[in-house]
Structure 1
């Protein structure tokens, strides 16, 4: 019985302040939408692929050991691609207004497990510039790796295409709005319960029982002007913990 009363109070509080919860949720969603569409700068992503593969010959046929060696070299190549020796040439060729160190924050190199294919991923606020950086980075790396490591086993598998980079990857307005709705609901519900907790006004007999911890066994209804007034000799009584009071 105690748990049922608590649940009724819980839903009663939510119902009473439903307008507040809805208002906070709507405001949060609107702010998130405005920021996502009009404040945050779109970021575009371009991707190019390079293949690490040594050519087989009669003296050195392609085998599992050679493939495993190529896979292990990819982690080394990842470091070289984002190093100043590569990115400084990219900056010069594209005439970018950034340093090689700043550009390294836009370039990421990844590869799948046990794969000889590495992905050069570039993020930029301009789709065409992101595509140019990705392709130029791959070309410069292919040109300079032979002199850096005295090997020639890198080829460009696929270049970044501008058409594939036209849709920004962030911000994601719909996801941001959905997150804002959830956060707004949480804030609204929390504020509703806080206001209910701070409200110590007694409005009904349930509040009397809850605050005074005294059972109510009688309620005097309000009498309107059109109703017959009780005679002066009539009395009503309420009992509270064995104490009788006449009215």
Structure 2
């Protein structure tokens, strides 16, 4: 049997399953994004499907751990990997810059009470985008500064936009998403307005809690509607 025939290949879904326990935030789009950025180079079948080998999975594990544990930007991780690929001895990752104080490093942002305050450079590095892409996100109103820094929402939006960018979506394409979000915000604000007008103690807190519940339900509805539309439009 030839070496290539005996080689153990994995699909992108199998790689996702292999790494998801250790890295719950990993998604298919994230793997595709890392490939688009040149950090991984899986083989391709004649029909264009990605074919991962164990070494690809280990390289992904290294990249994800470097982001999570050392909070390195992708350009630094790529430089490190390029040095390894060339047979050079790169400096230990621990010697690199660590996460800025107050920065939550995971996409899930499990601790929603943790403060996130980022400079422009920190936000770009954390999201894996360049200054031009960040300029576009700000130009189209998708990201705004909170005072002199960027907050948790800006980080989450920048990361989502970076992942969508690997599919060809530019900031201008996301204006429709922003407009839809603004309409939802208007509906929610109208729903909690009577509570906000109350003079009783805790009225604002109750209104905020109700708004969060409505928003969560709205997101579920939105996801179901998109899923239904795609199924009707794409399924054979």
Shorter-normalised TM range? under 0.3
Which of these two proteins has the greater Rg computed from alpha carbons? 1
More strand by share: 1
TM-score (norm 1): 0.23
